[in-house]
Amino acid sequence: MSKLLSYEIIVKAHEGDPDAVNAVLQHYTGYIRYCSRIYGYYNKDMEDAITSRLIESLLKFRFGCPPDYSKTE
């Protein structure tokens, strides 16, 4: 079993399909919970903030547009 999300799920999540968004959230649940720990304690507000940023990023994701690194110094 692959630990990666399929391209189709990511595309559907980008298009706003609730089932695909839920699949992405379930895939990253463990990592989100791990990152939600502050000083060793679980923080629900941090988990909510990370989850909302992930959803925002899914909807803003651009396919087929490689970043332009030529302008960075």
Asked if residue 2 is part of any domain, the answer here is no
Asked if residue 22 is part of any domain, the answer here is yes
Asked if residue 66 is part of any domain, the answer here is no
Asked if residue 70 is part of any domain, the answer here is no
- What is the extent of the structural domain holding 55? 7-60
Tell me what pLDDT residue 49 has: 96
CA–CA gap between residue 23 and residue 36 (Å, rounded): 19
Q: Which of 58, 8, 54 is nearest to 29 (CA)?
A: 54
pLDDT in tens, the chain (73 residues): 468 888 899 999 999 999 999 999 999 999 999 999 989 899 999 999 999 999 999 998 888 776 667 766 5
Tell me what pLDDT residue 1 has: 47
Number of independent structural domains in the chain = 1
Tell me what pLDDT residue 66 has: 66
Asked if residue 73 is part of any domain, the answer here is no
